Amino acid sequence: MSGVSVTKAADDAAPAADDLVVLSNVNKHFGALHVLQDIDLTIARGEVVVVIGPSGSGKSTLCRTINRLETIDSGAIAIDGKPLPQEGKELARLRADVGMVFQSFNLFAHKTVLENVTLGQIKVRKADKAAAEKKGRELLDRVGVGSQADKYPAQLSGGQQQRVAIARALAMDPKVMLFDEPTSALDPEMINEVLEAMQQLARDGMTMVVVTHEMGFARSAANRVVFMADGKIVEQATPDQFFSNPRSDRAKDFLSKILHH
């Protein structure tokens, strides 16, 4: 048996350089609730992975473990070949490498849009203010809110605020972007403008992990769909395979409920 694993390791050595996020046998409990059960998931550089599943399946918790907003009980998570740091400066540095966009926009209300986007660059990345502002304006343009740079978050629509949050995460030059239900707090007419900004990121080759209820986005932007239920990864496939021919009863049941309404 050991012979087999040795050759396998040799075979895997080359592609492994492109494994950006690796979760191995990850478990997480909230009290008696086993929210993540033996999760194994590898995300390659440049891959867009969309995580879907019923409410309470562990999707958001999975997303939040990747930048250690949630600690894990057992298992291991590595980003770009390095294990997730426990705390302190190393953790702050890791969080700069892992951009996160939440349901709520979490912008600083008392800072302008541009200040929101430059703050991390200056504080964490030690960028020069002028350089940070130039880059900030470029990123705001890229997500379609360049004209809002000098306003405060409260003066923006929810869709605009979420696009500012995306620009803010991008300003740190992250290796991977995590999106935890980024459109679920938005009015329907604003959802598309945020998804369009995310589609563009995907086309530009950003590594993305997206927890979402937006099946259209999953179909069009994902390289891989990961379906979770009851704290487990039940199946993973390309969008075409998953939506046209799900293998598990759990996925069939889920899709029948959401696609025929």
11 against 217, higher pLDDT: 217
Average pLDDT over residues 35-58: 95
Q: Does pLDDT of 31 surpass 80?
A: yes
By DSSP bridging, strand 19-30 and strand 74-79 are: antiparallel
pLDDT-based confidence at residue 123 (cuts at 50, 70, 90): confident
Quick one: CA dihedral 206, 23, 71, 212, positive or negative?
Answer: positive
Residue 212: Cβ-neighbour burial (10 angstroms; 0-12, 13-18, 19+): buried
Q: Does pLDDT of 8 surpass 50?
A: no
pLDDT-based confidence at residue 5 (cuts at 50, 70, 90): very low
Query: Residue 198 corresponds to which tokens in the numbers above?
Result: 């995310």
By DSSP bridging, strand 176-180 and strand 207-211 are: parallel
Q: Look over the chain and give the mean of its residue pLDDT values, rounded to a whole number.
A: 90
What confidence tens digit (pLDDT) does each residue in 143-171 have?
999 999 999 999 999 999 999 999 999 99
What confidence tens digit (pLDDT) does each residue in 51-105 have?
999 988 999 999 999 988 899 999 999 999 989 877 777 887 777 889 999 988 8
pLDDT-based confidence at residue 16 (cuts at 50, 70, 90): low
Q: Are 184 and 213 in contact (CB under 8 A)?
A: yes
Average pLDDT over residues 233-243: 96
Query: Residue 158 corresponds to which tokens in the numbers above?
Result: 């929810």
Q: Does pLDDT of 218 surpass 70?
A: yes
pLDDT over 90 percentage in the chain: 77
pLDDT at 90: 80
Q: In the β-sheet with 82-83, what is the strand arrangement from edge to edge?
A: 33-44, 19-30, 74-79, 82-83
Between the alpha carbon of residue 24 and those of residues 36, 76, 102, 207, the distances in Å are: 12, 5, 24, 19
Average pLDDT over residues 138-142: 95
What pTM value is reported for the model?
A: 0.89
Alpha carbon distance 113, 145 (integer Å):
9
Q: Which CATH superfamily, name and number, covers 18-259?
A: P-loop containing nucleotide triphosphate hydrolases (3.40.50.300)
Q: CB within 8 A of 129, min separation 6: which ones?
A: 118, 122
Average pLDDT over residues 191-202: 94
